[in-house]
Amino acid sequence: MASIMLEGIVKRFGKTVALRGVNLEVRDGEAMVLLGPSGCGKTTTLRIVAGLERPDEGRVVFGGRDVTNLPPKDRNVAMVFQSYALWPHMRVFDNIAFPLKIRKVESSEVRRRVRWAAELLEIEHLLDRYPHQLSGGQQQRVAVARAIVTEPEVLLMDEPLSNLDAILRVKMRSEIKKLQRRLGVTMVYVTHDQVEAMVIGDRVAVMNYGEVQQVGSPQEIYNEPANTFVATFIGSPQMNIVKGVISGGLLSLLGTQIEGVEGVEGEVLVGFRPERIVIGDGDLKFPAIVDFVEDLGSDVIVHLSVEGAGELVIAKLRGAHASLKPGEKVLAGVMRSDIHIFDPKTGRALKHGV
């Protein structure tokens, strides 16, 4: 097992800069998820860890060993690809055994280890089949078995669940998490699905524009987003961000005011999550008109327009509020602790909770 250090990784493809100085530490035995929208550089980062791409600048260090210029075969990594990348001309057994055979493992040991991996992933009965005879979910299990069979120091996963249907995805993501815990392997997992990221990651690195925006536990990222990008990327529906002004500790927003906001002056962006809005309660209350109601059964998403302020606010309320009608006037409220203050120019978070 090994820790991974990425130091100042820069990667260019022609004129486009894919990574502009990525710094990231993955601890030994940790599950690190790289999360971000497409084109944010998460897959490039993973491929640099794998050794499939060389960085233009920066270093990759595995447990104190500089591997920046080593090819994949000298890194003891394994990877699960988005397309699974099973070898179609080999039976499942040979697919899983191939990494061992390359390492010249003795054949009785190969059989023992393939069986071990196949049992872990519950695919013992599929060993004689060819990949095209398997369902997507089964192929996915074979790809994971192949990746763990050598007991790699580092396990890399590139959106491994994105080709599965929703039900299987939910099942597999917890299985992958359990497997990683059980093996204690250092894992880097790439996804654009925030729920998957939260379930699988011990820590999550949110990426955008070729940079790591924030690294933290799912709780940290959700409760203390480092900037407006992370704040709006994490959580669904996304965080409400409205304009406000602070003057002498008085925060004015949405046609109302709240006192005692210390440490920040001038124009700000104010954020609060839809699911933290309550009707008729809260430290900060603002009158609003119901625009539109989306009834999800357990919850209702209510689109509110705030009179006078010209702002739209989304609220996620308990299902009991499904009776709200468009045009209805409500008093919406938020607790002080749920209000985030951001710098309007840089987007950086200035305060979590006022």
Partner 1 sequence: MGSILYRISGNPTAKALILLSPTIIYLAVFIAYPIVDSFRIAFMSEDGTITLESLDFLLSSPLSEFWDALRYTFLLAALVVPVETALALVAVIVLFKRFRGRDAVVYILAIPLALSDVAAGLIWYAMLTGKGFLNKLLIDLGLIDTPIQFFGYANKELTLLAIFLAEVWRSSAIVFIILFAGAQLINKEVLEAAEVFGASFYVRLRHILIPMLKPSLQAALIIRTLFAFQVFAVVWILAGRDIPVLAGEAYYSITELHRYDVAAVYAIIIAVISALLGLVYIRLFRETLRR
- Compute the least distance from the CB of residue 103 to partner 1, in Å: 6
- Compute the least distance from the CB of residue 132 to partner 1, in Å: 8
CA–CA distance, 179 with 161 (Å, rounded to integer):
15
Q: Which is nearer to partner 1, 148 or 221 (CB)?
A: 148
CA–CA distance, 266 with 1 (Å, rounded to integer):
50
What residues numbered 195-214 form the site for partner 1, per CB under 8 A?
none
Q: Which is nearer to partner 1, 91 or 336 (CB)?
A: 91
Number of residues that bind partner 1 (CB under 8 A): 25
Which residues are registered as beta bridge partners of 12? 17
Which residues are registered as beta bridge partners of 190? 34, 158
Q: Which is nearer to partner 1, 77 or 279 (CB)?
A: 77
In angstroms, the Cα distances linking 143 to 74, 88, 226, 279 are 21, 12, 35, 49
CA–CA distance, 226 with 221 (Å, rounded to integer):
8
- Compute the least distance from the CB of residue 158 to partner 1, in Å: 9
- Compute the least distance from the CB of residue 331 to partner 1, in Å: 55
What residues numbered 126-155 form the site for partner 1, per CB under 8 A?
130, 146, 150
Q: Which is nearer to partner 1, 76 or 257 (CB)?
A: 76
Residue 253 binding partner 1, by CB under 8 A: no
SS3 content of the chain, % helix, strand, coil (to 5): 30, 35, 35
What residues numbered 56-115 form the site for partner 1, per CB under 8 A?
71-73, 77-79, 81-83, 85-89, 98-99, 102-103
Beta strands in 180-265 (DSSP E): 186-191, 203-208, 211-216, 240-247, 250-253, 256-258
What torsion do the CA atoms of 164, 159, 187, 37 make, to the nearest 10 degrees?
-140
- Compute the least distance from the CB of residue 52 to partner 1, in Å: 6
Which residue type is seen at 258? I
- Bond before 274 cis per omega within 30 degrees: no
- Compute the least distance from the CB of residue 157 to partner 1, in Å: 12
The region of 44-52, 55-63, 267-275, 279-287 touching partner 1 under the rule CB under 8 A is 44-52
- Compute the least distance from the CB of residue 321 to partner 1, in Å: 47
DSSP tag of 132? G
Q: Which is nearer to partner 1, 51 or 218 (CB)?
A: 51
Site residues for partner 1 per CB under 8 A: 50-52, 71-73, 77-79, 81-83, 85-89, 98-99, 102-103, 130, 146, 150, 156
